[in-house]
Amino acid sequence: MGFKMGIVGLPNVGKSTLFNALTKTAAAQAANFPFCTIDPNVGDVAVPDPRLDRLAELAKSKQVIPARMTFVDIAGLVKGASKGEGLGNQFLANIRETDAIAHVLRCFEDGDVTHVEGRVNPVEDAEVIETELMIADMESIEKRLVGLSRKVRGGDKEAIQQERLLKDALAVLEQGRPARTVAVDAEDARAWSMLQLLTAKPILYVCNVDEGSAATGNAHSEAVAAMAEAQGAAHVVISARIEEEIAQLREEEAAEFLAEMGLKEAGLDRLIRAGYTLLSLETYFTVGPKEARAWTIRAGTSAPRAAGVIHGDFEKGFIRAETIAYDDFVSLGGEQAAKEAGRMRAEGKGYTVKDGDVLHFLFNT
């Protein structure tokens, strides 16, 4: 099950620098001029999780395979993008294909790096991008409502549901609020997600600060934090330049560098974790002598559906899941000891997988 987070923002805010650090490649060209990223760059990154290494150590696993998250570096949007300004609508389409948005905001002063608006104000930058996405959503909704009208008149239930949801979204957008502020019932959740509205996507504000502010933030990032809190959104503070430097270092050197900068961990680790929280993602593990592996699921996933993340046949032929909680697996010293202590449980189709579960699935072929 893959999850994509789109990295967006105005030109020259540090998106491509951040992406380079995330993927530890130079695939995204970082340069001091707008639109240096012409096509969206895609990178899969490992999700840091020290639990996986501990499980592998106990099971003496030959291979360790972490969960992965996909980041998409999307070229810089500008005011008027919804009308085709800059590189226009192709990038709005790229955003539409992601599960969530990491909105990078420039929170640093640097006369050598041009700001497309000629000033540094991250809150206004956020409003520029949000406005463009809202305009694009409104135009999309109006077109779709016209296209649905015949089916609605014919009594098509799916079309009637879509029309209702689109009108709900249009109502809040016309009030200047993003579609994610619409209260959606559980029975409408799937149909709502299928609408793929840009402003319905969860958003994480990424404050790109100067190196000296990486540990404490600055006035710009504090303004973003206040904005995020008012919206019920999340934010993280990162120095993209520091992260790019760390990405080139060996593990021991990176740890020393972080300590010198007064940082407990790499900002990218916090960014990935924040992305997990934003998307309500959890991790379960499969552990054995061949490999220890982390698997990503949404919170509230049933055991059969979690099995289906490994292979569709596991879900179709699901019999039961043998389950050990992570804390029990570690504190008791491994699978066999957990079994002997009665800490392994047999769970059926109704079981909701918990974050950190160590699972073994039994299924019919």
pLDDT digits (tens, 9 = 90+) for 140-153: 999 999 999 999 99
Let me know if residue 288 belongs to a domain: no
Residues 218 and 316 in one domain: no
What was the pLDDT predicted at 48?
Answer: 85
Q: Which CATH number covers residue 358? A: 3.10.20.30
- Following CA atoms 301, 137, 18, 217 in sequence, which dihedral angle do they give, to the nearest 10 degrees? -90
Residues 150, 40 within the same domain: yes
| C-alpha to C-alpha distance for 343 and 321, rounded to whole angstroms | 13
Q: Which long-range contacts (CB under 8 A, 24 or more apart) does 298-303 make?
A: 299/355, 300/352, 301/352, 301/353, 302/349, 302/350, 302/351, 302/352, 302/353, 303/347, 303/348, 303/349, 303/350, 303/351, 303/352, 303/353, 303/359, 303/361
Q: Which residue would you say has higher pLDDT here, 44 or 30?
A: 44
Q: Do 170 and 219 belong to one domain?
A: yes
Domain contains 328: yes
One domain for residues 27 and 144: yes
| CA 222 from centre of chain | 22
Output the domain CATH number for residue 194.
Answer: 3.40.50.300
Is the domain of 123 the same as that of 218?
A: yes
In sign, the C-alpha dihedral spanning 263, 269, 274, 275 is positive
Report in angstroms the alpha-carbon separations of 68 from 7, 273, 307.
Answer: 16, 12, 17
Token pair, residue 6, equals: 């789109």
Q: Are residues 210 and 320 in the same domain?
A: no
Domain encompassing residue 48: 4-278
Burial class (CB in 10 A: 0-12, 13-18, 19+), 2: exposed
Note whether residue 294 is domain-resident.
no
In a domain, residue 270? The reply is yes
Work out the pLDDT band at 331, boundaries 50, 70, 90.
Answer: very high
Residues 116 and 198 in one domain: yes
Please indicate, yes or no, if residue 70 is contained in any of the structural domains.
yes
Query: Which pTM value belongs to this model?
Result: 0.83
Domain check: are 304 and 251 in the same one? Answer: no
Assigned domain for 292 exists = no
Q: Are residues 272 and 312 in the same domain?
A: no
DSSP string for residues in 242-308: HHHHHHTS-HHHHHHHHHHTT-SS-HHHHHHHHHHHHTTEEEEEEE-SSEEEEEEEETT-BHHHHHH
Domain boundary residue, one of 246, 278, 310: 278
Same domain, 264 and 322: no
- pLDDT on residue 112: 65
245-254 contacts: CB < 8 A, separation 24 or more? 246/21, 247/20, 247/21, 247/24, 248/24
pLDDT > 90 in the chain, percent: 59
Query: Looking at the 3D structure of the chain, how many domains does it have?
Result: 2
Judged against a pLDDT cut of 90, whether residue 245 lies above it is answered with no
d(CA 255, CA 222): 27
Whether 213 is in a domain gets the answer yes
Specify the pLDDT at position 77.
Answer: 64
Tell me, yes or no, whether 18 lies in a domain. Answer: yes
For all residues of the chain together, what is the average pLDDT? 87
Specify whether 72 is located in the same domain as 162. yes
Lookup: tokens for 84: 């085709």
Q: Residue 346 — very low, low, confident or very high, per pLDDT cuts 50/70/90?
A: very high
- Residues 341 and 209 occupy one common structural domain: no
